[in-house]
Structure 1
Amino acid sequence: MSNIRQLRDKTPESEKVTLNLGFVDLGRIDLLVHEGFYSNRSDFIRTAIRNQLDSHGEVVARSIERHTMELGLRDYGRVELEALRDAGEVLHVKVVGLARIASDVSPELARAAIGSITVLGALQASAEVRTALADRIH
């Protein structure tokens, strides 16, 4: 009997972003962290980004409306894609946030049901589905 258990892959809830900052800006951030305004550098950077996004909220909302994009998390599952395929319809994915194609979606089903993918944020799909849709991902 083995004590080894298989853990399920945890889907990341965020995307890592790398940026370069000048030494003076970095020092100012460290000072604010040291003074207790923020718990760490990442806390400061996330707060700054959220504040900027909030200040441009109306522009983002109008752009999403204009492009008829969905905002937030959007999951695409096998049953939904099969229904579209069977109805002879083609899906054009437009998401601002995170688009996920379920692990039970085959590359063949993805190609039959998805005409194009535009994601401003992140797309999560199996490597096989990504390869099958490579020419449709913008």
Structure 2
Amino acid sequence: MTALTTTTTSTPRASDTEKITINLGYVDLGQIDLLVAEGFYTNRSDFIRTAIRSHLGSHGEALRQVVARKMLVLGLQHFTVAHLSRVQAAGETLQIRVLGLASIAPDVPAELAADTIESITVLGAFHASPAVRAALAGRIH
């Protein structure tokens, strides 16, 4: 059993984003629109991203401590057929722990993923083919 702490060279673009939906009250939304109209922000999304980054920044030290304690890889983690084949050849399995984006290449066979991935914990987003997701269903936390 190996806790993975390295990334491979074929990674998704860091500029990729995940869409979320939030509900806001009319007054909050109106205040955001006013700030946008006055030129403080480009659009609503710009305001929301800025607010989230600011709030996360105020919890920076706590986040760093939790990331270290939980042994999370911070950022992007991408797994290819070649990478998982090397893990399989070594007779090892992976415990994937990511804060950010974990992705498994679309060409990774479900059987290879099932043979090499012991568990997946992702705080953020996890991208994998439907077949790989099905093969790992009981191991995704």
TM-score (norm 2): 0.88
Q: Which amino acid aligns with 1:82?
A: S
SS at match of 1:105: coil
Match 2:93 to one of 90, 102, 126:
90
Q: 1:77 Cα shift? A: 1.1
Higher relative contact order (CA 8 A, sep 6+): 2
1:116 matches 2:119: yes
CA separation in 2, counterparts of 1:88 and 1:28? 57
Structure 1 unaligned segments of length 5 or more: list them: 1-9
Aligned to 2:55: 52
* Aligned pairs, number: 129
Aligned to 1:133: 136
What aligned pairs does 1:1-138 form with structure 2 within 5 A after superposition? 13-138=16-141
Q: Which amino acid aligns with 1:110?
A: A
Q: Which amino acid aligns with 1:23?
A: Y
CA separation in 1, counterparts of 2:90 and 2:123? 28
Greater C-alpha Rg: 1
TM-score (norm 1): 0.90
SS at match of 1:71: strand
Aligned to 1:6: none
Q: What CA RMSD, in Å, does the superposition of the two structures yield over aligned residues?
A: 1.5
Structure 2 unaligned segments of length 5 or more: list them: 1-11
